[in-house]
Amino acid sequence: MKKILVLCTGNSCRSQMAHGYLKYFAEGRAEVYSAGVETHGVNPKAIAFMKEDGIDISGHTSNNVEEYSNIDFDFIITVCDNAKENCPFFPSKAQRFHYNFPDPSKYEGTEEEIAAEFRRVRGMIKTYCEDFINMMAI
């Protein structure tokens, strides 16, 4: 079974959403983990907007990447430039992928504008994750 690590800065929003979608699209054919170079707790809006799309990430925890140093990952996906630049070395055969998604938790505006940004970024992450699972034939 393939092992996928999604890495972000704080493991609170983008990596959590990607974790949820990768797990969903892999349909049990991959073990999916997410972590941050720091931990900020799972963003409540990420939980709410994923639930809106039928994906429950309410049981996820915010983990530091160092917790997974003993796992031999097949794929490491960084979802922000900071994580890509600060990702520690994993002594494994892991293929690395990167996409710098905007951080909806940093978006400023009205509640409606923030909701629209979360939905926009969620859609980008969903498409990326579905394409990734299909591209890697997982």
Q: Is 8 a catalytic residue?
A: yes
Q: Is the pLDDT of residue 18 over 70?
A: yes
CATH number of 2-135: 3.40.50.2300
Catalytic residue among 4, 80, 121, 133: 80
CA-CA distance, 64 to 83, in Å (whole number)?
A: 12
pLDDT at res. 84:
67
83 vs 111, which has greater pLDDT?
111
pLDDT at res. 93:
83
pLDDT in tens, 40-72: 999 999 999 999 999 999 999 999 999 998 999
Catalytic residue among 5, 8, 65, 138: 8
pLDDT at res. 86:
66
Q: What does pTM read for this prediction?
A: 0.94
Catalytic residue among 82, 87, 92, 98: 87
Identify the CA nearest to 60 among candidates 125, 11, 108, 26. 11
CA-CA distance, 97 to 22, in Å (whole number)?
A: 14
Residue type, 3: K
The overall average pLDDT reported for the chain is 93
